[in-house]
């Protein structure tokens, strides 16, 4: 009996300890490189302010999947342009960048894998003496209606410079950049990819293409806005780190900076706001061509 008992105890202990293995963690970081294809900038360069360049990144995992990709811009300060979570073996990333007014812009591309192994590459862009500003499009005195406004649509396309109703917008989702609605006490500039917009315009729940426009309020005066003839003011006014998917508490006299899903930067001047869901907002828009 005692022998049987001891054998059972031995078997029991074997069962308990058999699963005690320690997992080892790799410390080889993921690879990251610039795309060296035609049209993509892959080395340090000198370019004029306002010039648009295209940069491509390719990254490949080592032992663990890549989980984080970050793009930041270092000039007078360090600003995060993109924080992106993922869980991929590899990825390719394209972006457009417009040279700022800073003497030097350093773009830093950073990847991290699940084990927190990190890799970084960077590209420095120094400003040449000659500046190259882009042309802008002007949309003057545009009325955009609140969600219950029967006269004016609430959906605006920067590409077309045209206003759409909800039904029309649903047919041309890829054109919509700006949405306006009035939410209880707040006049709000939004975009199809904003989290609360579908509760106001229910059709958006089923949209396949949801463009994103990010906004932030600026300290610009109406006079500065009116005097802008090229995109220099637009470029220096937009701050990626401040931009949100909606701008709330919009009121007369404010100037908002924005960037749409295509990377075009612009400014919106608020001329007047009728604070009702049947009301409307009257605005001027200046956006890069």
Partner 1 sequence: MKKFFIIFLLLSQFSFAQDTIKPQILNEIIVTALRGSQNSIDIPANISVISQNQIQNFAVVNSDELLKSIVGINIDRDFGIFSKNSSISMRGLNGSHRTLVLLDGIPLNKTDGGGVNWNRINPDNIEKIEIIKGAASSLYGGNAMSGIINIVSQKPTKKFGGKVKLFYGTYNTFGSNLFLEASNIRDNKGFYCELNGFFRKGNGYIVAPDSTKDSLDAKTYLKEYSSIAKLGYQFNKKSFLEVEYNFSDSKIGDGTKIFENDGGFNQYLTHFLRSTLKTEVFGVKILANGFYQLENYLRQSETIKRQTKKYTLYNTDSKRTDAGIWIAANYFFANNILTFGSDAKYGDVVAEDNYKTSTDILTNKGKMYFYSFFVQDEFLFLEKLRIIAGIRYDLVQFREGKFTIEEPTILTDFMTLYPKNFSDTNWFALSPKFSVNYKIFNDSKIYFSYSKGFRPPILDDMCKNGNISKGFKMANPKLKPENLHNFEIGYLFNIANLTFEQAIYYSLGNDFQYFVGTGDSIYTGGDNLKPILKRQNVGEVEIWGTEIKFLLNFVKNFSFSTNYAFNYSKIKSFTVLQNDKDLTNKFLMEVPKNQVFSSLEWKTKNLNVIFSYNFRDKQFIDDENTQESDIHSTFDFKISTQFQEKFYISLSVQDIFNQRFTDGKGNLSPGRFFISNFIYKFF
Q: What 3-state class would DSSP assign to 177?
A: coil
- Give the number of residues in contact with partner 1, rule: CB under 8 A: 33
Residue span binding partner 1 (CB under 8 A) among the ranges 82-90, 119-127, 148-156, 223-231: 82-90
Taking a C-beta distance cutoff of 8 angstroms, is the pair 280, 181 a contact? no
Residue closer to partner 1 by CB (options 12, 140) is: 12
**42 contacts: CB under 8 Å, gap ≥ 6:** 34, 35, 36, 55, 56, 123
CA dist., res. 194 & res. 180, Å (int)? 11
Which of residues 188 and 288 has its CB atom nearest to partner 1 in the complex? 188
Q: Which of 42, 62, 65, 166 binds partner 1 (CB under 8 A)?
A: 65
Is residue 5 near partner 1 by the rule CB under 8 A? yes
Tell me if 2 contacts partner 1 by CB under 8 A.
yes
Nearest of 116, 119, 118, 120 to residue 107 by alpha carbon: 120
Q: Is 108 in the site for partner 1 (CB under 8 A)?
A: no
Residue 86 contacts partner 1 per CB under 8 A = yes
Q: How far is CA 279 from CA 106, 145, 146, 147, in A?
A: 45, 6, 5, 8
Q: Pick from 9, 28, 46, 140: which binds partner 1 (CB under 8 A)?
A: 9
The 10 Å CB-count burial string (b at 16+, else e) for 56-89 is bbebebbebebbbbbbbbebeeeeeeeeeeeeee
Asked if 191 and 158 touch (Cβ cutoff 8 Å), the reply is no
Q: 223 to 282, contacts with partner 1 by CB under 8 A?
A: 241, 244-246
| CA 141/CA 162 separation, integer angstroms | 12
Q: Is 196 in the site for partner 1 (CB under 8 A)?
A: yes
Among 38, 141, 151, 195, the residue binding partner 1 under the rule CB under 8 A is 195
Among 149, 193, 211, 260, binds partner 1 (CB under 8 A): 193
The dihedrals phi and psi of 190, each to the nearest 5 degrees, come to -140, -170
Residue of 58, 198, 236, 271 interacting with partner 1 (CB under 8 A): 198
Q: Least separation, in Å, of the C-beta of 282 and partner 1?
A: 24
Q: Which residues bind partner 1 (CB under 8 A)?
A: 1-2, 4-5, 8-9, 12, 15-16, 19, 65, 67-68, 70, 80, 83-87, 112, 114, 116, 118, 193-196, 198, 241, 244-246
């Amino acid at each position: 009996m005692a022998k049987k008992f001891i054998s059972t105890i031995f078997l029991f202990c074997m069962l308990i300890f058999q699963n005690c293995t320690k997992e080892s963690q790799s410390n080889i970081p993921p690879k990251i490189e610039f795309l060296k294809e035609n049209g993509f900038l892959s080395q340090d360069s000198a370019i004029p302010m306002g010039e648009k360049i295209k940069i491509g990144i390719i990254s490949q995992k080592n032992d663990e999947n890549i989980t984080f990709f970050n793009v930041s811009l270092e000039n007078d300060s360090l600003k995060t342009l993109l924080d992106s979570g993922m869980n991929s073996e590899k990825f390719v990333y394209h972006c457009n960048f417009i040279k700022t007014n800073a003497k030097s812009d350093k773009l830093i591309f950073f990847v991290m894998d699940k084990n927190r192994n990190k890799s970084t590459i960077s590209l420095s862009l120094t400003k040449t003496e000659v500046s190259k500003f882009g042309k802008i499009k002007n949309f003057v005195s545009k009325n955009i209606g609140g969600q219950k406004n029967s006269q004016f649509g609430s959906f605006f396309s920067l590409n077309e410079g045209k206003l759409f109703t909800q039904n029309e917008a649903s047919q041309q989702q890829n054109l919509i950049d700006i949405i306006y609605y009035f939410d209880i006490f707040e006049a709000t500039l939004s975009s199809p990819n904003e989290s609360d917009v579908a509760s106001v315009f229910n059709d958006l729940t089923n949209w396949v293409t949801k463009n994103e426009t990010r906004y932030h309020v600026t300290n610009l005066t109406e006079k500065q806005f009116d005097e802008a003839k090229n995109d220099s003011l637009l470029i220096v006014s937009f701050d990626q780190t401040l931009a949100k998917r909606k701008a709330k508490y919009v009121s007369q006299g404010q100037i908002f900076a924005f960037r749409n899903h295509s990377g075009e930067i612009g400014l919106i001047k608020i001329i007047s706001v009728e604070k009702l869901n049947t009301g409307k907002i009257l605005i001027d828009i200046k956006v890069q061509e």
